[in-house]
Structure 1
Amino acid sequence: MAELALERYFDEYIANNVDQQQTSTSGLVSVQDPEGLVLYPPEAEDTGCDIFSLPDELLTLGRAAGFKPPADKESSTSLDHNAQNPENPEEPENPENPEEPEEPEIQHPHILPRIKNVVSRADLGCLLDLKAIAHRAWNVHYHPEVFKALVMKLRYPPTTAMFYRTGKMLCLGAKSTQDSYLATRRFGRIVQRLGFPVRFLDFKVVNIVAKGWVPPMRLEPLARHHLCSYEPELFPGLFLKRFHGASFTIFPTGNIVMMGANSEEQVQQAFCSLVPFLSSFRKP
């Protein structure tokens, strides 16, 4: 029974294939089986015979004869998709517009001194009772037998002030002229709150102490200059006086201590003028 059904199907398929070649090949042609089953053969371009496009009844007979159906379309599609798109695809590089990282511009900083201490003075405009201030104020040291001035400390900016009975005041320890001015005003306000008629007068920066660095120096040739004094048996540093309005202490290691300037601009100008002068005395 199975062999007769297969032979009959192939005979019908071959007979209808001749008619299909004469018709247009743009679509699929349906063929009706004598038993009423509608068959969909492959496209007109394909002349082969696909046994797996048989009707369900014939497929059942084919399975009994040992034929196996093909794998599912979805599984085959997934395999093709994985083959075309691997798990870790390498992105193609674009040689036309490569993105090159911008190199930062290297800026060599200027060798400038660092301010260590600013000394300023001011006049409070009234006489001061230093003993009364010592009993009523905080952070105060007053020992007239040792030192006639009253010493007062401030936490911010971290500075120290010395008050005299005449109303004069010195402020030390600031790291800039702005901090020195602010600290002097705060010291005057503290004394004013104690009941003294304080007026803030004649503020002036007296001295700025700064520290810089240059390469190691040979001080013996430099000591021949008429502005220098060098006594290595007494002190390891060389003194350079009245150089652009400031005084310098130069050590063989290259450390420089500058004093006598009245402003931060003067500190920078004096130090920048000193560095070319010392360039010819560097150690080899």
Structure 2
Amino acid sequence: MEPELKIVNVVVSTKIADSLDLEEVALVLENAEYEPEQFPGLVCRLSIPKVALLIFRSGKLNCTGAKSKEEAEIAIKKIIKELKDAGLDVYENPEIRIQNMVATADLGIEPNLDDIALMVDNTEYEPEQFPGLVYRMDDPKVVVLIFGSGKVVITGLKSLEDGKRALKKILETIKEIQEM
């Protein structure tokens, strides 16, 4: 049985304007926090979908916390509409790019992390410092955290397909090691 890969965070970026007056944006958007002495961008938290948007003077915007690219797109469209309705000059349909996805899965087995650390290249395992094994995979280019419980976190993903490929590779590697 294949373990189920669950996307838990999608980070996207886009550009919604040539430039923005963040003081003005802070007045328009309801859940906006703008404290330039602490952070150069404006932070806007939405409850539906549950995401945080970081908006910068340059017009660049990052959205984090979404469970899918579609969810991030809904949030960004919501913000664009609010800004447009308030008379701000923003782009109608900006290109939205996935920067990072984080996924989790349960392998359904308890892997021997010491064996994996010994036999697999690009792994780090120092249980005194961190309970998981860190595996920097080259293809797909992702970072995988493997825990003794069989739980796995994959980060650096650009697509769900990459996540499935990484998961398959991990399972094959662990099976090979267990058969030795």
Unaligned residue ranges in structure 1 (runs of 5+): 1-107
Give the equivalent residue in structure 1 for 2:104: 211
8 Å contact 1:161–1:187 — kept in the other structure? no
The one-letter code matched in structure 2 to 1:117 is N
Per-residue CA distance 1:91-126 (angstroms, 9 max, x = gap): xxxxxxxxxxxxxxxxx5x31211100000000132
- TM-score, normalised relative to structure 1: 0.58
Q: Is the helix fraction higher in 1 or 2?
A: 1
The structure that is strand-richer by fraction is 2
| C-alpha contact 1:222 1:281 (8 A) present in aligned 2 | yes
Tell whether the 8 Å contact from 2:28 to 2:82 is kept in structure 1 after alignment. no
Shift of 1:281: 4.5
What CA distance in whole angstroms lies between the structure 2 residues aligned with 1:167 and 1:146?
A: 19
* CA RMSD of superposed structures (Å): 1.6
Percent of aligned pairs sharing the same letter: 28
Q: What letter matches 1:228 in structure 2?
A: T
Corresponding letter in the other structure for 1:265: E
- 1:238-270 per-residue CA deviation (whole Å, 9 max, x = no partner) reads 111124222101111111100111112222222
Unpaired runs of 5+ residues, structure 2, are none
Q: Secondary structure at the match of 2:96?
A: strand
User: Of 152, 155, 167, which aligns to 1:259?
Assistant: 155
- Structure showing greater relative contact order (alpha-carbon pairs closer than 8 Å, 6 or more residues apart): 2
After TM superposition, the structure 1 stretch with the greater mean CA deviation from structure 2, 181-190 or 164-173, is 181-190
Per-residue deviation, residues 5-49 of structure 1 (Å, max 9, x unmatched): xxxxxxxxxxxxxxxxxxxxxxxxxxxxxxxxxxxxxxxxxxxxx
What is the TM-score normalised by the length of structure 2?
0.89
Matches within 5 A, 1:81-120: 110-120=2-12
Query: Which residue does the alignment assign to 1:94?
Result: none
- Paired with 1:281 and 1:116, the residues of 2 have a C-alpha distance of 29
CA contact (8 A) 1:117 1:210 kept: yes
Matched, 1:229 2:121: no
What is the match of residue 201 of structure 1? 94
Once the two structures are superposed, residues 168-199 of structure 1 have per-residue CA deviations (whole angstroms, 9 ceiling, x without a partner) of: 00001111122122222222222222222111
* DSSP 3-state at the match of 1:117: strand
Aligned-partner Cα distance in 1 for 2:117–2:169: 18
**Match status 1:150 vs 2:42:** yes
Contact 1:177 1:263 survives alignment (8 Å)? no
Question: What is the CA distance between 1:142 and its match in structure 2?
Answer: 1.2
Aligned pairs for 1:18-167 within 5 A: 110-167=2-59
The whole-number CA distance in structure 1 between the counterparts of 2:106 and 2:90 is: 42
